[in-house]
Structure 1
């Protein structure tokens, strides 16, 4: 069979339906064939009934005290929501059983290519190792991890789907030890999930671009099916903020890619990285809206005036921040970033690997954590926190007007056992089903309302 790219697989995939907590049978298409790797059958169009949607806010003395919902019927065709109709409990349709429908979740910072998940339990190494210590450790252990990385990536994608996530941005190691093999293994795992999961990839020089002499590997990766050029602590790892960022920016421009740089450094080097990258984006408008700083812990340590000045510059340049919502001694100033219009997203980062022992795979949990850290506990505040998990898509706008779903929207949705968005965030409500571009790809066999 002729080889086609990951994006082509995702774009051209037919509609799949897996059995699930939902009951009823979708209308199957003529001459449809199963897609390999998921055991599902194709369907042209189908309908959901008894779907709970948010319709507005309930006010008392000008304060939002509750969320109004209703039951609806949703027609899905060719991966899109065809119509949102009044409910008909007697309709010959798949029964959502009154569960709340929300936009599918998006994990925007994860490392699918290196994980212990899917294998025997193993905790991370002892603490107090520097990034360079971990680079040395990876150089010894990656050859063994690569033997099963495609399998484990697939298992990890399955975990994300079970938590309502249908899309991820994954960083993937590009360095002399792995060469391009980690990328190829991950692309295979994603291909095996075609039609059920979407992804974009970051070529990530985990061992430093110049520190590990990864320049040519990064140039080779940029010609492959990746979406972003990554980086890592330019000053601490490569010894120069300007040298690393200049390389990344030029590579991104040459190959029309985005940029996503890991920045853990604080102090003057961290701030200089933020400011230098921001200036580069202003000088190269093609990178606006396609450039991100992951972690960016330096923002958590800036004085108020400097933070607000920096947030304003990030928003103006359209440079986003992707935070895993750390707590303890590093609480990120996310409310300030939102206030200035910075694009903020989240992800699980490392899940059960040699960097991190923890990780549930749930970005809804990240929204819950954000709500707790910043005291977002009212009905309105909790409902707004959902946007961290959905990529800024909310069923209701700030005034309570329904804005999602509408005919023509992508049919990538999650069903949760909750009465409204606020409850879903506050209780990290159970995911009962996930639909990706019209394909029912996950169902919870055990959960009962």
Structure 2
């Protein structure tokens, strides 16, 4: 579609309705949205433009973002079902398995990445942060194949890429490949369980931090460790980011399961330290019997995001492709049932963007924003989260994806 057009009869959230200090409803009104060159050009009350496209009163919300996924290695898209095999020797056992199966996965990884992207789009996701294997088995081939898929889908999808040493930095000697890829146009330097995989928190973390600093990249580290080593890794990262403030706002811990093992007071203490260092947490919701302290992190201002991680691969098969499902699951898990609380849970699906701020002041959409959004047959974002409303349309920079 031509990117210069107008949508009429679009429902936007404009404020909260309060009663005795409590949000009891979300106020909306009907608008026209003019788009030009992939941007929102104007927002105004309906003008009866006969050339406009009728949105039929559907609710406009920010498009979704999957902030932790592995688009480069998947079993999804081949028309076959594969359950996960019984794990042996933890993450190191999975590394051994990957060494055997990656050559076969690489044969059609571009096609399968495109299939996952289409699945994500069908659930309203137009952006993903994807971790990409960088290790001696696939070298840079996994990245190259994924970049082809992303290029093929660029009219309806965009991404950030994390160079991920899935097989350990030193455990399988991935250093040379990480140094090479850091000079490319990837966005983040990744890492994996520095103590349990590489045998040293300091050695592994120092390399990661220095590589990010030298190449002006962000950091996004997988941290599965839940004992003392997990906590020490978080504390070491906080210390180093505070010493290098250019990394603030660009550093993330994925999973970070150790936070779910701490007592309430220690969780609060760590949340404050993470907020001060501007280190974000990209959390799985939930994970076995582990309950991550997402409400505590959000309360103290830590940026919290989520993602599908795996859709169907040799790690797990529970990814649905929907981050709205993750927001709904979090609302149920943490008892977020009121209009206000449900509206806040939307931020987990959008990586932080919600139409109304905590006081009910409209902050999205604005003129000049990318014309990237979703349309729902729903009354408000709280209903969308609670009922997991179906996405009726995804618009990406003015392009109608569906």
Deviation at 1:61, TM superposition (A): 2.6
1:251-330 equivalences under 5 Å are 251-330=211-290
The structure 2 residue matched to 1:116, chosen from 68, 75, 78, is 75
* Structure 2 contact 77–116 (Cα < 8 Å) conserved: yes
Distance 2:77 2:288 in 1: 29
Distance 1:391 1:375 in 2: 20
Q: Which residue matches 1:361?
A: 321
Q: Which residue matches 1:83?
A: 42
Q: Which residue matches 1:425?
A: 385
Deviation at 1:127, TM superposition (A): 4.4
* Structure 2 contact 123–391 (Cα < 8 Å) conserved: yes
CA deviations 1:124-164 (Å, max 9, x no partner) are 21245511111000000000000010000011011111111
Is it true that 1:74 corresponds to 2:38 in the alignment?
no
Deviation at 1:62, TM superposition (A): 2.5
SS, match of residue 107 in structure 2: coil
Deviation at 1:244, TM superposition (A): 0.5
* Structure 1 contact 149–186 (Cα < 8 Å) conserved: yes
The structure 1 residue matched to 2:6, chosen from 44, 47, 50, is 47
Distance 2:25 2:369 in 1: 26
1:13-412 equivalences under 5 Å are 17=1, 43-88=2-47, 91-119=50-78, 120-127=80-87, 130-412=90-372
CA deviations 1:236-263 (Å, max 9, x no partner) are 0000111100010011011111000000
Q: Which residue matches 1:13?
A: none
Distance 2:366 2:246 in 1: 31
SS, match of residue 308 in structure 2: coil
Q: Which residue matches 1:30?
A: none
SS, match of residue 146 in structure 1: helix
* Structure 1 contact 49–91 (Cα < 8 Å) conserved: no
Q: Which residue matches 1:24?
A: none
Q: Which residue matches 1:7?
A: none
Q: TM-score, normalised by structure 2?
A: 0.97
Deviation at 1:419, TM superposition (A): 1.0
Distance 2:307 2:334 in 1: 18
* Structure 1 contact 50–88 (Cα < 8 Å) conserved: no
* Structure 2 contact 87–94 (Cα < 8 Å) conserved: no
Stretches of structure 1 that go unaligned for 5 or more consecutive residues are 1-16, 18-42, 444-449
Distance 1:155 1:432 in 2: 20
Alignment size in residue pairs: 401
* Structure 2 contact 87–93 (Cα < 8 Å) conserved: no
Deviation at 1:327, TM superposition (A): 4.3
Q: Which moved more, 1:229-238 or 1:82-91?
A: 82-91
Distance 1:88 1:385 in 2: 34
* Structure 2 contact 3–399 (Cα < 8 Å) conserved: no
Distance 2:295 2:382 in 1: 18
Stretches of structure 2 that go unaligned for 5 or more consecutive residues are none
